[in-house]
Amino acid sequence: MSEAPPTTPPTEAAPVHEGTATPRPTMSRKSVGASQRTAPDRFTPPEPPALEVRDLSVYYGKKMALSGVSMQIPVKKITALIGPSGCGKSTLLRSLNRMNDLIPGARITGAVDYHGHNLYGNSVDPVEVRRRIGMVFQKPNPFPKSIFENVAFGARVNGYKGDYNELVERSLRQAALWDEVKDDLKKSGLALSGGQQQRLCIARALAVEPEIILMDEPCSALDPIATLKIEELMRQLARDYTIVIVTHNMQQAARVSDYTGFFLAGEAAYGQLIEYGPTEEIFTTPMDPRTEDYITGRFG
Partner 1 sequence: MPREQFHRQIEALMDSVLEMGSMVDHAVDRAIQALLDRDPVMAQAVVRDDAALNAKNFECQNDCVHLLAQQAPMARDLRLIVSVTAIMTDLERMGDHAEGIARIVLMMQDEPLVKPLIDIPIMAGHARDMSRNAVQAFVDQDINAAFLVGSADDVVDRLYDQIYQDLIQVMIGDPSTIEPSTHLLWVAHNLERIADRATNIAERTVYSATGNLPQMDVSSY
Binding site for ligand ADP (CB under 6 A): 60, 65, 83, 85-91, 103, 271
Surface-to-core class of residue 107, CB atoms within 10 Å of its CB (0-12 exposed, 13-18 middle, 19+ buried): middle
Give the phi and the psi of residue 108 in degrees, each rounded to 5: -125, 155
Question: Which residue, 189 or 261, has its beta carbon nearer to Mg ion?
Answer: 261
Strands, sheet with 117-118, edge to edge from the N-terminal-most edge strand: 117-118, 106-114, 49-60, 63-74, 271-278, 259-265, 78-82, 242-246, 212-216, 133-136
* CA separation for the pair 128, 118 (Å, rounded): 13
Question: Which residue, 157 or 268, has its beta carbon nearer to ligand ADP?
Answer: 268
The binder of 237, among Mg ion, ligand ADP, partner 1, none, by C-beta within 5 to 8 A per type, is none
* CA separation for the pair 214, 73 (Å, rounded): 11
Which are the contacts of 162, defined by CB distance < 8 A and separation ≥ 6?
none
| CB of residue 250 to partner 1, shortest distance in Å | 7
| CB of residue 28 to ligand ADP, shortest distance in Å | 33
| CB of residue 295 to Mg ion, shortest distance in Å | 18
Question: Which residue, 138 or 249, has its beta carbon nearer to partner 1?
Answer: 249
DSSP code of 100? G
| CB of residue 106 to Mg ion, shortest distance in Å | 14
The binder of 18, among partner 1, ligand ADP, Mg ion, none, by C-beta within 5 to 8 A per type, is partner 1
Question: Which residue, 25 or 144, has its beta carbon nearer to partner 1?
Answer: 25
Question: Which residue, 57 or 91, has its beta carbon nearer to ligand ADP?
Answer: 91
| CB of residue 69 to ligand ADP, shortest distance in Å | 12
H/E stretch holding 143? none
Site for partner 1 in 231-290 (CB under 8 A): 250-251, 254, 283-286
26 touches 11 (CB < 8 A): yes
- Taking CB under 8 A as the rule, does residue 33 contact partner 1? no
120 touches 300 (CB < 8 A): no
| CB of residue 282 to partner 1, shortest distance in Å | 8
Quick one: which of 67, 72, 79, 90 contacts Mg ion (CB under 5 A)? 90
Which are the contacts of 25, defined by CB distance < 8 A and separation ≥ 6?
none
How many residues contact Mg ion, by CB under 5 A? 1
Contacts with partner 1 by CB under 8 A lie at 1, 3, 5-6, 9-11, 13-15, 17-20, 24-29, 250-251, 254, 283-286, 291-292, 295-300
